Structure 1
Amino acid sequence: MTTIARVRAVPGASGFFFDDQRAIKRGAERDGAAYRGDPVTPGFDRVRQAGEAISVLLELDDGTVATGDCAAVQYSGAGGRDPLFRAEEFVPVVERPVADALVGRPAEAFAENADLLADLDGPDGERLHTAVRYGVSQALLDAAATARGATKTDALADALGTDPADDPVPVFGQSGDARRDNAEKMLLKGVPVLPHGLFNSVEKVGEEGERLVGYLDWLSARAAEIGPAGVDYSPRFHVDVYGVLGEVFGPPFDRPEVADYFADLRAAAAPYPLQVEGPMDAGGRAEQVHAMAELRDGLADAGVPVDLVADEWCNTLPDVEAFVDAGAADVVQVKTPDLGGVHRSGEAVRYCEGTDTRAYLGGTCNETAESARTCAHVALATDAAQVLAKPGMGFDEGYMIVTNEMRRALARRDLRQSRVVADD
Structure 2
Amino acid sequence: MKIVQAHFVPGYSSFYFDDQQAIKKGAGQDGFVYVGQAVTAGFRDIRQAGECVSVLLVLENGAVAVGDCAAVQYSGAGGRDPLFLGANFAPFLDRHLGPLLEGREVDAFLVNARYFDTLEIEGRRLHTAIRYGLTQALLDAAALARNVTKAEVILDEYGLPLVAEPVPLFGQSGDDRYAAVDKMLLKGVDALPHGLINNVPDKLGHKGEKLEEYIRWLVARVEKLRTRPDYKPSLHIDVYGTIGLIFDQDAARVADYVAGLEKAAGPLDLYIEGPVDAGGKEAQIEELDKITRRLVQLGSPVKLVADEWCNTYEDIVDFTDARCCHMVQIKTPDLGGIHNVVESVLYCNRQGMEAYQGGTCNETDVSARACVHLALAARPMRMLVKPGMGFDEGMNIVYNEMHRTLALLKARRA
- TM class by shorter chain equals over 0.9
The question of 1:353 aligning with 2:352 is answered no
- Give yes or no for contact 2:4–2:57 (8 Å, CA) kept in 1: yes
Equivalent position amino acid for 2:69 in 1: C
The aligned residue for residue 3 of structure 2 is: 4
How far apart in 2 are the matches of 1:31 and 1:396? 25
How far apart in 2 are the matches of 1:92 and 1:193? 40
How far apart in 1 are the matches of 2:206 and 2:55? 45
The aligned residue for residue 13 of structure 2 is: 14
Q: CA deviation at 1:220?
A: 0.3
2:239 to 234, 238, 241: 241
After superposing the two structures, state which structure 1 stretch, 183-192 or 154-163, moved more: 154-163
The aligned residue for residue 120 of structure 1 is: 119
Q: CA deviation at 1:259?
A: 3.5
Equivalent residues in 2 for 1:49-198, closer than 5 Å: 49-122=48-121, 124-198=122-196
- State the TM-score, normalized to the length of structure 1: 0.96
Q: CA deviation at 1:92?
A: 2.0
1:259 to 255, 262, 265: 255
After superposing the two structures, state which structure 1 stretch, 92-101 or 317-326, moved more: 92-101
Query: What are the superposed Cα offsets for residues 191-239 of structure 1, whole Å, 9 maximum, x if unpaired?
Result: 101000000011210001010000000100110110113x510111000
The question of 1:403 aligning with 2:399 is answered yes
The aligned residue for residue 327 of structure 1 is: 323
- Give yes or no for contact 1:153–1:164 (8 Å, CA) kept in 2: no
- Give yes or no for contact 1:8–1:95 (8 Å, CA) kept in 2: yes
The question of 1:375 aligning with 2:374 is answered no
- Give yes or no for contact 1:160–1:346 (8 Å, CA) kept in 2: no
The aligned residue for residue 296 of structure 2 is: 300
How far apart in 2 are the matches of 1:356 and 1:307? 14
Q: CA deviation at 1:20?
A: 0.4
How far apart in 1 are the matches of 2:193 and 2:163? 24
How far apart in 2 are the matches of 1:113 and 1:355? 28
- Give yes or no for contact 1:44–1:84 (8 Å, CA) kept in 2: yes
Equivalent position amino acid for 2:351 in 1: T
DSSP-derived class of the 1:353 partner: helix
Q: CA deviation at 1:94?
A: 2.2
Please identify runs of 4+ aligned residues in structure 1 that moved more than 3 A: 257-260
How far apart in 1 are the matches of 2:87 and 2:123? 19
Gapped regions of structure 1 (runs ≥ 5): 419-424
Q: CA deviation at 1:26?
A: 0.9
The question of 1:343 aligning with 2:339 is answered yes
How far apart in 1 are the matches of 2:158 and 2:45? 41
The question of 1:205 aligning with 2:201 is answered no
Gapped regions of structure 2 (runs ≥ 5): none
Query: What are the superposed Cα offsets for residues 56-109 of structure 1, whole Å, 9 maximum, x if unpaired?
Result: 100001111000100000000000000000111211232232222222221111
How far apart in 1 are the matches of 2:17 and 2:335? 18
- Give yes or no for contact 1:165–1:382 (8 Å, CA) kept in 2: no
2:265 to 249, 265, 269: 269
Query: What are the superposed Cα offsets for residues 314-369 of structure 1, whole Å, 9 maximum, x if unpaired?
Result: 00111101100000111100000000111011111111123231110000000000
Equivalent position amino acid for 1:320 in 2: I
How far apart in 2 are the matches of 1:369 and 1:248? 37
Equivalent position amino acid for 1:205 in 2: L
- State the TM-score, normalized to the length of structure 2: 0.98
DSSP-derived class of the 1:352 partner: helix
Equivalent position amino acid for 1:206 in 2: G
How far apart in 1 are the matches of 2:95 and 2:165? 40
The question of 1:366 aligning with 2:362 is answered yes
Q: CA deviation at 1:310?
A: 0.4
- Give yes or no for contact 1:163–1:382 (8 Å, CA) kept in 2: no
Query: What are the superposed Cα offsets for residues 378-414 of structure 1, whole Å, 9 maximum, x if unpaired?
Result: 1111011100000110011101111111111111111
Q: CA deviation at 1:183?
A: 0.7
Q: CA deviation at 1:164?
A: 3.7
The aligned residue for residue 421 of structure 1 is: none
Aligned pair count reads 413
- Give yes or no for contact 1:4–1:60 (8 Å, CA) kept in 2: yes
Query: What are the superposed Cα offsets for residues 109-149 of structure 1, whole Å, 9 maximum, x if unpaired?
Result: 10111011112123x32110000000010000000011111
How far apart in 2 are the matches of 1:154 and 1:99? 27
The aligned residue for residue 310 of structure 1 is: 306
